[in-house]
């Protein structure tokens, strides 16, 4: 009997202890630091600031940078909205909020974008990062280079989704800069952030920012974020009577508290901002800032250390494939005026590839009806983008490279074959010995960068053709093919650690292998800058390979290609 009373008394003591802990615990919770920053989006003028340069956890505001880079990659032609991304185990294991992706699943980029922008799905953001850069650390490095180029001086990213990580920090000031760039650099995609729901392929997802969007007149974005360490964050944009304000809040104590604070900031700003103000577009991204801060960058992609391509001029017509011979109409010409200030060959080739909007015919540089498009957002027209930032129609800046002299007949046929992928099989291809006809069907910059005279089929590691294609200025006249500047290399150099390569398949003929190499090179130029195409015959089969790479370059290229569904294996070193 006494034992029973003792047990009851012990249980009562535990119960009292738990009640006291429940009452006292909130007293020991330290709220996340508060910060805010408000600007007139039309001019960039600061209207209010509190702790704006204090480095804090941004939480899912991070996804604004993930999406900015994704939109930029689409515009450049690195990837398309319909590219299928293979979900990695790391992406599928991300904690909520999440779309519910499964390891090994393939899903179109457009659905991942919607999930990241609308639902703030952590797994979708990670899948995007791996699909674009092969790994989260590589993508984070690109995020940091882009942030530095924007002038986000107090930001450092460690992942693509904003989950709390050591060193993953930003400020209210920096996130406002990013929000303004999203608004004006990609107005065609900006409507995503005001959608209440979106089709993410696997599910219909709801906007995490619906309460604010529904409650504040004129609000149309941009992004919310929450973690225990960050508190409740938001970058909000609203437009009333031609006045647009962007306000950022870090460290709200609840959704309601955050929304009330940002609403009050916006109200005050609308009362303070002038009705009429001359629009000043955000400054173009300056990648020299990234170099100065110790980060390497290229104006075209993430590849290369300190490589920049600067082209002065305005593209007057986008690069589109001309009509096939015999289909009627004259071939379309590119009319532009440009001068090359400084060019690194690898970066120039990368820019030329990014400018090629043909060959991989499903590259989608702008939203379409039911994909990412939505109600038109009335924004002041952005200034013409800097040439090294690309143009909205055709991809990256136009850098016209001189083509190599006439390739062998088989290569001429491959040119025509690759250029017309997706067209009717009943169409008659150009004669295999008609170089001019074949070359017209591929943009000249692609011919110069990717189509050297076909390398002879050789035994392993015997002969490789290396390309050295000088650049020429764009002119209103059709480009003239340059003289032969290629050099024959008799053996692959192993100096500098360039003893690795990748294989993208084994084929029954050299023609099929060459065609596969061209398609892969065009689909992911960034990962293959500096690599050389080579076909190796072995027992009547033809290996399509890229050689002259470091082990790190080869592994990264394989990860990127595999993420997009292309077979790839490492060669060199201990892999033969």
- The span from the CA of 207 to the CA of 117, in Å, is 8
* Six-digit token string for 434: 């008609």
Alpha helices in 381-505 (DSSP H): 409-419, 435-440, 444-450
Is the Cβ–Cβ distance between 101 and 84 less than 8 Å? Answer: no
How many Å apart are CA 137 and CA 117, to the nearest integer? 21
Residue 279 carries which DSSP code? Answer: -
Q: Are the beta carbons of 40 and 32 closer than 8 angstroms?
A: no
Distance CA 205, CA 476 (A): 48
Instruction: Report long-range pairs for 45-53 (Cβ below 8 Å, ≥24 apart).
Output: 45/273, 45/277, 47/245, 47/268, 47/269, 47/272, 47/273, 48/247, 48/265, 48/268, 48/269, 49/172, 49/173, 51/172, 51/250, 52/171, 52/172, 52/173, 52/176, 53/154, 53/171, 53/172, 53/173
Cis peptide before 97 (omega within 30 of 0): yes
How many Å apart are CA 543 and CA 550, to the nearest integer? 19
Strands 541-549, 532-538: pairing is: antiparallel
The pLDDT score that the predictor gives to residue 75 is 94
Which are the catalytic amino acids? 60, 63, 120
- Alpha helices by DSSP H, 397-509: 409-419, 435-440, 444-450
d(CA 269, CA 251): 20
Angstrom distance (rounded) from CA 158 to CA 477: 48
Q: What dihedral do alpha carbons 96, 97, 102, 107 form, nearest 10°?
A: -160
pLDDT of residue 499: 84
Query: For tokens 């990860």, what's the residue?
Result: 559
- Phi, psi angles (nearest 5°) of residue 11: -65, -40
| 466 alpha-carbon distance from chain centroid | 29
What would the two tokens of residue 94 be? 């991300």
Ranges in the chain, pLDDT < 50: 24-29, 295-371, 373-496, 575-576
First to last CA, the chain: 80
Count of beta carbons in the 10 Å neighbourhood of residue 15: 10
As a whole number of angstroms, the distance between CA 465 and CA 287 comes to: 33
Provide the residue count of the chain: 576
If one counts every other C-beta atom within 10 angstroms of the C-beta of residue 408, the result is 14
Angstrom distance (rounded) from CA 139 to CA 72: 13
Structure tokens at 251: 């460290």
Are 219 and 237 in contact by the 8 Å Cβ rule? The answer is yes
Contact criterion met (CB below 8 Å) for 133 and 139: yes
pLDDT tens-digit map of 338-383: 333 333 444 444 444 444 433 333 333 334 334 454 444 444 444 3
Domains for the chain: give ranges and CATH numbers: 35-272 (3.40.710.10)
CA distance 462 to 449: 22
What is the number of H-type helices and E-type strands within the chain? Answer: 17, 17
Asked if 274 and 327 touch (Cβ cutoff 8 Å), the reply is no
User: Tens digits of per-residue pLDDT, 139-158?
Assistant: 999 999 999 999 999 999 99
Q: Which of 143, 106, 112 is nearest to 126 (CA)?
A: 112
What's the rounded Cα separation, in Å, for the pair 395 and 402? Answer: 19
Cα(468)–Cα(545) distance, integer angstroms: 19
Is the alpha carbon torsion for 503, 424, 392, 401 positive or negative?
Answer: positive
The H-or-E segment that residue 427 falls in is none
Whether 199 contacts 114, CB under 8 Å:
yes
User: Rounded to two decimals, what is the model's pTM?
Assistant: 0.55
d(CA 53, CA 172): 7
């Amino acid at each position: 009997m006494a034992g029973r009373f003792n047990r009851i008394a012990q249980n009562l003591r535990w119960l009292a202890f738990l009640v006291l802990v429940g009452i006292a615990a909130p007293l020991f919770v330290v709220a996340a630091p508060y910060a805010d920053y408000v600007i007139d989006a039309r001019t960039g003028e600061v209207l209010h600031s509190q702790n704006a340069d204090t480095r804090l956890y941004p939480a899912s505001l991070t996804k604004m940078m993930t999406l900015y880079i994704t939109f930029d990659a689409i515009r450049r032609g690195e990837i398309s909205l319909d590219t299928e991304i293979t979900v990695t185990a790391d992406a599928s294991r991300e904690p909520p909020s999440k779309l519910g992706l499964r390891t090994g699943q393939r899903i179109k980029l457009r659905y991942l974008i919607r999930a990241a922008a609308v639902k703030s799905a952590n797994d979708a953001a990670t899948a995007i990062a791996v699909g674009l850069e092969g790994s989260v650390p590589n993508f984070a490095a690109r995020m940091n280079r882009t942030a530095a180029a924007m002038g986000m001086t107090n930001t450092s990213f460690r992942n693509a989704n904003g989950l709390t990580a050591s060193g993953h920090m930003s400020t209210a000031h920096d996130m406002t800069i990013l929000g303004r760039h999203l608004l004006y650099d990609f107005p065609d995609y900006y409507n995503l952030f005001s959608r209440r729901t979106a089709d993410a392929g696997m599910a219909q997802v709801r906007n995490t920012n619906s309460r604010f969007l529904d409650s504040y007149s004129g609000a149309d974005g941009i992004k919310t974020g929450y973690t225990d360490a960050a508190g409740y964050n938001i970058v909000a944009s609203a437009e009333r009577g031609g006045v647009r304000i962007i306000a950022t809040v870090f460290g709200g104590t609840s959704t309601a508290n955050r929304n009330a604070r940002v609403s009050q900031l916006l109200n005050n700003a609308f009362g303070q901002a002038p009705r009429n103000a001359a629009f000043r577009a955000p400054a173009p991204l300056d990648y020299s800032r990234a170099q100065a801060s110790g980060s390497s960058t290229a104006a075209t992609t993430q590849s290369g250390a300190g490589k920049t391509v600067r082209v002065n001029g305005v593209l007057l017509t986008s690069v589109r494939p001309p009509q096939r011979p015999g289909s009627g109409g004259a071939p379309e010409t590119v009319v532009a005026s440009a001068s090359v200030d400084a060019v690194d060959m690898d970066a120039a080739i990368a820019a030329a590839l990014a400018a090629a909007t043909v060959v991989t015919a499903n590259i989608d540089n702008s939203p379409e009806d039911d994909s990412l498009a939505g109600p038109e957002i009335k924004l002041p027209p952005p200034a013409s983008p800097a040439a090294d930032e690309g143009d909205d129609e055709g991809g990256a800046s136009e850098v016209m490279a001189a083509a190599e002299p006439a390739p062998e007949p088989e290569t001429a046929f491959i040119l025509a074959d690759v250029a017309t992928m997706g067209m009717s099989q009943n169409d008659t291809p150009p004669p295999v010995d008609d170089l001019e006809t074949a070359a017209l069907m591929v943009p000249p910059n692609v011919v110069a960068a990717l189509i050297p005279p076909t390398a002879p089929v050789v035994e392993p590691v015997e002969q490789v053709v290396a390309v050295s294609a000088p650049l020429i200025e764009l002119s209103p006249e059709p480009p003239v093919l340059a003289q032969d500047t290629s050099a024959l290399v008799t053996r692959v150099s192993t100096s500098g650690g360039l003893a690795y390569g990748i294989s993208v398949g084994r084929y029954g003929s050299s023609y099929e292998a060459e065609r596969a190499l061209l398609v892969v090179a065009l689909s992911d130029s960034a990962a293959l800058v500096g690599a050389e195409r080579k076909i190796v015959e072995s027992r009547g089969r033809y290996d399509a390979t890229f050689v002259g790479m470091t082990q790190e370059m080869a592994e990264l290229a394989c990860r990127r290609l595999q993420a997009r569904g292309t077979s790839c294996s490492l060669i060199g070193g201990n892999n033969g």
